[in-house]
Structure 1
Amino acid sequence: MFVLLLLVPAVSVSACNFGDNNWALGCDFPGNDFKNLQIPGEQCGQACVDDARCTHFTWNTYKRGTCWLKEGQASDIVCNNDRSFVCGQIVHKNCKPNFGDQNWAFQCDFPGNDIRNVKVEASECGQACSDDARCTHFAWNKYDGCWLKDTKKLFTDAVCTRNPSDICGCVRDCEEAGETFKHCKPEFGDKSWALRCEFPGEGFKTVQVPASGCGPTCLWDTRCTHFSWTSANNGSCVLKSGRIAFSDAICTKDFDTVCGCERNCSRDNSLQKLAWNQEFKKSEDGLDIEILLDFGNGPKLYRIGYYQNDIPQAPCMTPGTKIQGQCRFLRHCVLEGFHADFDEFLQHARVCEDGYVS
């Protein structure tokens, strides 16, 4: 399963004490003024909220009360110890939480749609959501802990919050705007499994095990070649069988999924890799592979078979060499091997010298 690892940064507190508010007394943000209004101090923050350009503000007693609306990045705060001054920031204005390629971000929230509250550490909130089948999104703050939520929202629907240690994220039904999800590809690297993915198609068996037990369960069943795991029903491992390439895996909208391949797994699409060049062709019936070779009597198509130690049927040689041997040609199975793992295919491939196998 994914593990939410968090390094919560230290929060510096200015001498002008904002506390849990977005404003403080005795302070100023110099510069960046674009407008001023003669209004009472308690209306200045709302005036900034109502103006799309405004990101921060200062109020003082100039002309019996002036609200200075400011734009852009707030400058360094100046503490003047004059409590007739008020300054503040509209922290959510023009702010978008930065998820990157993660399913969580700092200083954000998905407002509303709360299921329940759980008193856990920030690093445990994502897992708490994953463990509750109703939960799709979550938010954590230092006051209330972890809020589990049931909602279908885009990552772009997340809003910024004041506290840098706040966290929000998505576990299931995680919608991404634009082309992000369309072009998503699971990242296996050099591993046999990846997060947030599945192999399409029906399975032959479903086993209730944790995510960490799905791969071993597939290995123990000789029919299983690949698998997909979800958190449904406290962990469901779907065992599947058939030739597959890692590139066949697709991303899911749920981040608490796992997929993997344990047998006959190809790292790339061999047919695309070879692009059906002049050497390899399909047989006329479309069920086997033939190779175009010239052994001195002109180029000729030869049927390819797999070398095996049992029941030799015809003399054969390794393509491109003069290594003689015996092989058993298995009709209609060579194409599958060609698809599944081209390196293994080359190790076992042999060609019949007379170009024909009955």
Structure 2
Amino acid sequence: MSGQFDFRALLLKTQELLSDTDRHRLHFLLGDDIPKYLRDDPSLAGTLRVLETLFDRSIINDQDCDYLVDAFSKIQCNDAAKRLKEYKQAHGQNSRQKFSLEDILLQDSDDDKMCTTEITPVTFRILPTETRAPTCTNVNLESEEVSSILPCHNETTVYNYKYQWINLILKRPSSTCAWILLISAILILISLALTVYIWFKYFGSTEKKIIWTKNNTAKSCGFHGNDLSSVQIPKELCLKKCEETFECTHFTWTEHYSGTCWMKKGLVSKNDAFQTNDSTTMCGLTNDCRSGSTSSSIRWSRSDWAQGCGFRENDLSNVQIPKEHCLKKCENTFGCTHFTWTEHFGSICWMKKGLVSKNDAFQTGYDSTLCGMVNDYSLENTGSSLRWHRNDWAKSCDFCGSNLLNVQIPIEPCVNKCAETSECTHFTWTNHNNGTCWMKKGLVSKNQAIPTYDSSAICGIIERTR
């Protein structure tokens, strides 16, 4: 078995020595070396995922377990630390018992210097001075025969043998065919080198790449930090939950506590995601840093709000509330189509009226400010040019007939007046008699509203529960 297999088996054994309290203390001690969502899981499976993360980040391996020895010692799990120390000592002794190839070659070289004389005699031949190599010989002077001719393995000869292949390569070709073969071999080697380089650069990376879907979600990935909130829901609902949660720009889903959606805030991109070995995890973005306005670098979320921006003028009203409530407050305020939140003067939500688009927003230079729209022009009536607000009202429109009653009141209370009036299902407000709310009855839809040339008029529908 491999060293890594034995080391992992030992780590499994050490888990039998740890209690849940020990696991809690170990996860706390490891701190930022592991993701936060793993620190909160003191189960055996959670600790095994912690160890797998340490393997992935090259903090531990079968050659180096000092990190775990130190960690177990500090949480007073001495038996676990002792087992790892014994493994380390045994592994070190096995390594010292292995001889390197260089030691074996040096030993063989020493043995070769012991020239034997029990070899069949051969005729002695004198080599030219310039080509003769040093030899160890036993010469029989009476018979003029050599009893042995062996190469002396001195330093010069060993050097010559070692680099003999280099001399063969650099030897000048003696014919045209040899030149052609040499040039062809060089070109083939260059082509192979280029092919290997291109393959590893574009196709052969051993690191897995995150594959993103059209919805900006991916499997086996996550985002570090910037936690906003978490909720236990199925994986397929995590993206929608993040889109509906104010300030949530990205998320990570894990199997923690039978499925947890970790919603996160802040501007990130796909490059900020990291790869995991858990195929059940999922990560995604509701703002992929590409949906910003073409006229500025404001980055809009899918819920039509952004950081570091504002809208000028057209103030409707203001209220002192936390920033996460400003969008909801605008949606519930009649006539509010967009807003700006700022921490100046004590966290003020400035609700604004009038038709605007994202191009009307400006950058403030402060990340703490917030702006958004509750009418993004995307909820248009398919049967007319009317642009409906998310609270089911629109400008410059009217409903014909079905009058229930009318009352002279300003434009803002008209929708509430209809909602409080029994049988009133829809309404029209005009500036007739300094402002008249025409309440109407019967079932209608947005398709029945007709456009008018009166820019001050509004119409709307009251959704009543049955």
Q: Same fold (TM over 0.5)?
A: no
More strand by proportion, 1 or 2? 1
Larger radius of gyration: 2
Query: TM (normalized to structure 2)?
Result: 0.26
Relative contact order higher in (CA < 8 Å, ≥ 6 apart): 1
As a proportion of its length, which structure holds more helix? Answer: 2
